[in-house]
Amino acid sequence: MENLFSYGTLQQESVQLETFGRKLQGTKDTLVGYQLATVKISDPEVVRASGKEYHPILQYTGNSSDEVGGTVFELTFVEIQQSDGYEVDEYKRVSAQLKSGLSAWIYTAAG
């Protein structure tokens, strides 16, 4: 199993059902050294699934006082690939350590 830290639309039940075919169970955690910004989504399927044209996006600051709260989900490798398919080109998946000490995949700004 793989850990995925979600701070945005992947926490929505409707997005989980559409992306993974199931509702995910997760635990709250925090990502340190990042802050949230907003990105306009142009992919109509992602907008339809989330119901939102603007999504949050992580930006790395390296500042220990910057924190983003979210949820850690355990996903299979196939589900990680499905989440890659949901995320648009403005995001890239990288590994990060969470405040709890867990290592998890995160989607951060690609630029």
Q: What pLDDT, on the 0 to 100 scale, is given for residue 86?
A: 95
Please name the residues in contact with 109: beta carbons below 8 A apart, sequence gap of 6 or more: 37, 39, 57, 58, 59, 60, 90, 91, 92
List, for residues 71-104, the tens digit of each pLDDT value.
Answer: 999 999 999 999 999 999 999 999 999 999 999 9
Tell me the percentage of the chain whose pLDDT exceeds 70.
Answer: 100
**pTM for the complete prediction?**
0.92
List, for residues 25-45, the tens digit of each pLDDT value.
Answer: 999 999 999 999 999 999 999
Give CATH for domain 2-109.
Answer: 3.10.490.10
